């Protein structure tokens, strides 16, 4: 029996071939001729495994549960990268080789079709991904769930929530652009959610491709402990194939779409380089894997199996990042990457997930991740489909079936599952049940993004994801009065789907204000209102989300007293406001330091509420006040006239009165801007950044380009893309992401206050 037991790690597809030159037919969408000896061997191997697992199932009924094999053969991965690194193109190839789609279409679909995962018209027109799309495919008997995420920083929440629910990820890097600003952001997000990852250096067919430069950048900029798993055979237009450093075989990709893999010996002229790179790989993995280190230090020969198992252990432990190479556009290197996903990324039960037990004061509970436990599922993404709200669920434990009753722990509601589907971009397939580790969608379930569902036997919630604060606002209103209903319906839907998109009313002008992560983010939503809801909207000038804060301590002692027949109002509050220490996680803190019963304790919440309300609007320019610590030290109450309202009003007036004495300042959002411009325009662009009150913090040279990193106030960045194009003859590009709110200069503060007073005086 023992010799049939399942190998501990999935073998790479091409480990089974012994003769020096063989062709492997990938599981291709088109009907294939009679299988080659190699593929027969492969089929035989899988039949053997199925037969053995069938026999073993009976022998091991007591030891191995029914779900063990299906969990081992499941992978949940995300594909993330900087804009234009080739994420969607890579996903398109993966779907083609796994037989999920039968034709390859390009991202900027000249044939009018466009990539499968970019299902929105806007995505196909602009050639960018706006919403993350989920799909699933089968490769070598394994089920792989894939989420293709956007690269643009304005849609960062899409990446954030995809990584929140995935077990592994592929970080795509461009072999020409290297590690760019958004690559750093995405890597930081992967680190935050502790996602084991592979790196894939794409576009080796492009002019100027240099994978070794990119690998060194990843080590320096991303602090990756990584090494190459492959060596390219030729680069740019001479890129022919790859040498696999684990198996020490050369792989060539033939056929119209690279579907036939030909395996040969390593070319003689590359042997020295390949031996050196394999030794480097073993050294790097040995640093983080004790078992391999022992063999390496004892100078024992290291077999491909030993190396593969060590890489898997180190990758799952997030101590090592294997680096693969290829060109998705030219159909080279995608199948070995798929094999690597099976070989090196974890299955759902190899990842630690934690829930918070609501019955035990949010105590952390480790989830087993098995279908045997109680149901725990997280709603991580919502979409308004043709048939109502579509809720994407990641199941962490237990089983969900169509027709089951489930409980929303966040709202306390009991819901029946009317329809359960698996998603393939915008297509869906009905299923009867799904178990732990899977990503599915349910219809007709009313919930919010981040809600946790259980079967009612436990009260667990999953930890929420990090939602960045919006940095830019626009005033929008429908052109015709009749379309108000559709307009508000659209805004409600988008707000529910996207946590970084906020809608509010300007109390002074009565206008609807939408806030988001940047110009493109808000433009896309205004365009979607027009297309999907047929509502034309007028858009006001973009507004920056300023904040106010205090810079020094100021005392307050305020008595609110009002007598107008009947019960009066009486409340006195004493204390001080001061700035919170730098790096404090909270934006507002209230502390009650009253000793004794000068103010009855039942009025304290009303006082806190009053201070919070007062901090919603500072007196400089009417924006919220942040990083403020309010301390209540004394006060007085009246036996009859004191009430919650009296103390709330006393707190509001006390805050306003002492605010000026606390030397308030205005904070503005500062963006981290990365520019890539040809060397000849470097001086002009740097001068323009200085004019915009930016601070240049870095200037590197990459080939003929200059890469400038700067911190620039968002208020000075409107229309920058047009200005940059005219300065660089259309050759410059830039990316921008929110860094922090920091104080404005004295002259800008005076100007902002005068503008604010001017508009109020006019009203």
Q: Which residues are annotated as a binding site for GTP?
A: 81-88, 148-152, 202-205
DSSP state letter for 192: H
The DSSP H or E segment spanning 538 is: strand 537-539
CA–CA dist 627, 258 (Å, integer): 57
Pair 456, 402: CB distance under 8 Å? no
Closest CA to 116 of 404, 340, 423: 423
Contacts of 347 (CB under 8 A, 6+ apart): 71, 72, 73, 74, 75, 167, 437
Annotated binding-site ranges: 81-88, 148-152, 202-205
CA distance 487 to 484: 5
559/648 Cα distance (integer angstroms): 12
**Token pair listed for 461:** 């919630």
For residue 653, give the 3-state DSSP assignment: helix
CA pair distance 558, 580, nearest whole angstrom: 22
In order of 84, 207, 209, the CA distances from 204 in angstroms are 14, 8, 5
Whether 45 and 35 have beta carbons less than 8 Å apart is answered as no
* Residue 134 three-state SS: strand
Across the strands, what pairs with 548?
625, 666
In whole angstroms, what separates CA 55 from the centre of its chain? Answer: 43
Task: For residues 292 and 283, give the distance between their C-alpha atoms in angstroms, rounded to a whole number.
Answer: 9
* CA 432, chain centre distance (Å): 30
Strand pairing report for 241-244 and 133-139: unpaired
Query: Strands, E, within 616-704: which ranges?
Result: 628-636, 664-678, 695-702
Report d(CA 19, CA 700) in Å as an integer.
48
Q: Is the separation of the CB atoms in 734 and 673 below 8 Å?
A: yes
Cβ proximity of 672 and 709 under 8 Å:
yes
Q: Which residue has the tokens 């190839």?
A: 93
- As a whole number of angstroms, the distance between CA 573 and CA 558 comes to 6
Write out the two tokens for 130. Answer: 């706006």
The residues facing 427 across adjacent strands are 424
């Amino acid at each position: 029996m023992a010799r049939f037991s399942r190998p501990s790690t999935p073998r790479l597809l091409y480990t089974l071939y012994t003769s020096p030159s063989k062709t492997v037919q990938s599981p291709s969408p088109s009907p294939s001729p009679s299988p080659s000896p190699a593929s027969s061997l492969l089929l035989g191997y899988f039949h053997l495994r199925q037969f053995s697992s069938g026999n073993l199932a009976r022998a091991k009924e007591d030891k191995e549960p029914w779900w063990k094999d299906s969990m081992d053969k499941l992978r949940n991965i995300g594909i993330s990268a900087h804009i234009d690194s080739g994420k969607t193109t890579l996903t398109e190839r993966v779907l083609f080789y796994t037989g999920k789609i039968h034709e390859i279409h390009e991202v900027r679909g000249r044939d009018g079709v466009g990539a499968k995962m970019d299902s929105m018209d806007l995505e196909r027109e602009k050639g960018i991904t706006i919403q993350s799309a989920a799909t699933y495919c089968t490769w070598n008997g394994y089920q792989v769930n894939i989420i293709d995420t956007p690269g643009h920083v304005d849609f960062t929440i899409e990446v954030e929530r995809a990584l929140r629910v995935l077990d592994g990820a592929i970080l795509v890097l461009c072999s020409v652009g290297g590690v760019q600003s958004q690559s750093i952001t995405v890597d930081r997000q992967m680190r935050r959610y502790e996602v084991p990852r592979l790196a894939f250096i794409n576009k080796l067919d492009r002019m100027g491709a240099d994978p070794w430069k990119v690998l060194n950048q990843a080590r320096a900029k991303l602090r990756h402990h990584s090494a190459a798993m492959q060596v390219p055979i030729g680069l740019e237009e001479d890129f022919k194939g790859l040498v696999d450093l684990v198996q020490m075989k050369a792989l060539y990709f033939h056929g119209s779409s690279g579907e036939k893999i030909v395996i040969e010996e390593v070319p003689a002229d590359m042997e020295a380089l390949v031996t050196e790179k394999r030794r480097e790989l073993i050294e790097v993995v040995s640093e983080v894997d004790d078992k391999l280190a022992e063999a390496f230090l004892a100078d024992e020969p290291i077999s491909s199996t030993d190396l593969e198992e060590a890489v898997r252990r180190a990758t799952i432990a997030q101590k090592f990042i294997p680096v693969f190479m290829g060109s998705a556009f030219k159909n080279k290197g995608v199948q070995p990457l798929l094999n690597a996903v099976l070989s090196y990324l974890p299955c759902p039960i190899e990842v630690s997930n934690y829930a918070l037990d609501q019955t035990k004061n949010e105590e952390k509970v480790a989830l087993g991740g098995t279908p045997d436990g109680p149901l725990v599922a997280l709603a991580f993404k919502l979409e308004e489909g043709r048939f109502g709200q579509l809720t994407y669920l990641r199941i962490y434990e237990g089983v969900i079936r169509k027709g089951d009753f489930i409980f929303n722990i966040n709202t306390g509601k009991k819901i029946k599952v009317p329809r359960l589907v698996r998603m393939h971009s915008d297509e869906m397939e009905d299923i009867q049940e799904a178990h732990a580790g899977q990503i599915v969608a349910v219809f007709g379930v009313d919930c919010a993004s981040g809600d946790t569902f259980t079967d009612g036997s436990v009260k667990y919630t999953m930890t929420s994801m990090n939602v960045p604060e919006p940095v830019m606002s626009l005033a929008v209103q429908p052109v015709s009065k009749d379309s108000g209903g559709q307009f508000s319906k659209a805004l409600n839907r988008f707000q529910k789907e996207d946590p970084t998109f906020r809608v509010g009313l300007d109390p002074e002008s009565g206008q609807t204000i939408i806030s988001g992560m940047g110009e493109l983010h808000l433009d896309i939503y205004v365009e979607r209102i027009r297309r999907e809801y047929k509502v034309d909207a007028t858009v006001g000038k973009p507004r920056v989300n300023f904040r106010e804060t205090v810079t020094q301590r100021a005392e307050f002692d305020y008595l609110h007293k009002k007598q107008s027949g009947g019960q009066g109002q009486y409340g006195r509050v004493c204390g001080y406001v001061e700035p919170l220490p730098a790096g404090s996680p909270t934006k507002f803190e209230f502390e009650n330091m009253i000793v004794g019963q000068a103010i009855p304790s039942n009025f304290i919440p009303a006082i806190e509420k009053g201070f919070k309300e007062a901090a919603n609007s500072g007196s400089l320019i009417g924006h919220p006040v942040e990083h403020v610590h309010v301390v209540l030290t004394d006060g007085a109450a009246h036996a009859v006239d004191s009430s919650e309202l009296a103390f709330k009003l006393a707190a509001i007036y006390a805050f306003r009165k002492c605010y000026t004495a606390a030397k308030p300042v205005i904070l503005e959002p500062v963006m981290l801007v990365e520019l890539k411009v040809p060397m000849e325009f470097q001086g002009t662009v740097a001068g323009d950044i200085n004019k915009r009150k930016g601070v240049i913090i870095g200037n590197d040279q990459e080939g003929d380009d200059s890469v400038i990193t700067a911190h620039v106030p968002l208020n000075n960045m409107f229309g920058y893309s047009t200005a940059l194009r005219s300065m660089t003859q259309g050759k410059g590009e830039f990316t921008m992401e929110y860094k922090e709110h920091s104080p404005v200069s004295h002259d800008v503060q005076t100007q902002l206050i005068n503008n604010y007073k001017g508009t109020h005086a006019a009203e």
